[in-house]
Amino acid sequence: MKKSDFHYELPEELIAQAPLAERSASRLLLVPPDAGAFSDLHVRDLPGLLQPGDLLVFNDTRVIPARLFGQKDSGGRLEILIERLLPEEQARAQVRASKSPKAGSWIVLDGGGRAEVLGRDGEFYLLRFEVDGGLEPWLLKVGRLPLPPYIRREPGQDDAERYQTVFAKKVGAVAAPTAGLHFDKALLEALRQRGVQFGHVTLHVGAGTFQPVRVEDVREHTMHSEWLNVGAELVAQVRRTREAGGRVVAVGTTVVRALESAWRRSEAMPDGELQPFAGETRIFIFPGYRIRSVDALLTNFHLPESTLLMLVSAFAGKERMFEAYRHAIEQRYRFFSYGDAMLLWGQASP
């Protein structure tokens, strides 16, 4: 399995640079299993595609304003992108500077306060912050939203709301679970009226989600680590849904990563079952991996050669996925974080 197997050409003008005025107005490409015809719909059509008793699983992580600016005590300017909040006012972060800061040096922050460089953690730096009121509240006041690198503009006032899901609760992500951005209160109410159930997991999306695959043999790629929590309540919801004949629908690849990380096999359950789990995951899902935890997936369109494109290819089939992407490009769908969506059914789904 080669990285280049997941390449496709995308016209740059199809990369969405801003959200639509209405969340649920985004287009929705329905991709049935096998050779069924594609349907060009809208996200607001979702209630008619689901059945009473189906379970939508959302990621309730909340994006932190993780982008900071400052200068080294030697005077050089730098940019900080926090990747993970840690105990004791510490954080793991990317630091962009003309010269790498050294352990033991200090960074004077534009928003007030300072940060000590404790050392390196692979490609990241470990920083200890001295700021008023604690790191998390301080970030919420002075940090800037870290829009994805393919959005070629500075964040505006609207992004503070639109780059969050309406159900975001648990602070800790530096990138949004973008499939969830399509849901507004009106759509959620229409789904409730349809009899669709809601469940939540938490997976704090890290900056590593934008890191490219740098090896040609995808089996040699090392995934970034992300923290997740699949609670007992969600596990019980999934079990009840399956027992009643309902379907589990993941809203986004982060939900799939969380649920598959919590999938456990044993002698009594050789195919495995979902169990409560909280902790780190480095799970890497690419074709050849069988996804068991969900029956359908609502997802945005993903970058060429990315691990997320590999994940959806594992779920729906690589050839089928690339047929869908060719159709989306021909029909001028909008791509990536602020773009349109697709609804995929697993290869074994009826």
pLDDT tens, position by position, 6-56 = 999 999 999 999 999 999 999 999 999 878 899 999 999 999 999 999 999
Cα dihedral angle (257, 258, 261, 262), rounded to 10 degrees? -150
With cut-offs at 50, 70 and 90, classify the pLDDT of residue 177: very high
What is the fold, at CATH topology level, of the domain defined by 67-142? Thrombin, subunit H (2.40.10)
CATH code linked to domain 3-63+160-345 = 3.40.1780.10
Q: State the DSSP H helix or E strand holding residue 162, giving kind and residue range, or none if neither.
A: helix 159-162
With cut-offs at 50, 70 and 90, classify the pLDDT of residue 212: confident
With cut-offs at 50, 70 and 90, classify the pLDDT of residue 268: confident
Question: How far apart (Å, rounded) are the C-alpha atoms in residues 126 and 191?
Answer: 43
Question: How far apart (Å, rounded) are the C-alpha atoms in residues 311 and 257?
Answer: 9
Domain boundary assignment for the chain: 3-63+160-345, 67-142
Supply the pLDDT for residue 122. Answer: 83
Question: How far apart (Å, rounded) are the C-alpha atoms in residues 154 and 150?
Answer: 11
| Residue (of 59, 298, 299, 63) closest to 202 by Cα position | 59
pLDDT tens, position by position, 280-321 = 999 999 999 999 999 999 999 999 999 999 999 999 999 999
Structure tokens at 24: 């649920």
Supply the pLDDT for residue 266. Answer: 73
With cut-offs at 50, 70 and 90, classify the pLDDT of residue 210: confident
**206 in Cβ contact with 174 (< 8 Å):** yes
Query: Can you tell me which residue has the tokens 């049935």?
Result: 32
pTM, 2 dp:
0.93
Question: How far apart (Å, rounded) are the C-alpha atoms in residues 334 and 332?
Answer: 6
Q: How far is CA 215 from CA 4, 79, 156, 220, 308, in A?
A: 10, 27, 36, 7, 16
In 3-state terms, what secondary structure has residue 257? helix
- Choice among 25-34, 183-192, 201-210 with the minimum mean pLDDT: 201-210
Q: Which class for 155: exposed (0-12), middle (13-18), buried (19 or more C-beta within 10 A)?
A: middle
In 3-state terms, what secondary structure has residue 81? strand
pLDDT tens, position by position, 126-153 = 999 999 999 999 999 999 999 998 999 9
With cut-offs at 50, 70 and 90, classify the pLDDT of residue 349: very low
Sheet with 197-203: strands ordered across: 39-42, 27-31, 341-345, 296-300, 248-251, 55-59, 197-203, 226-230, 277-281
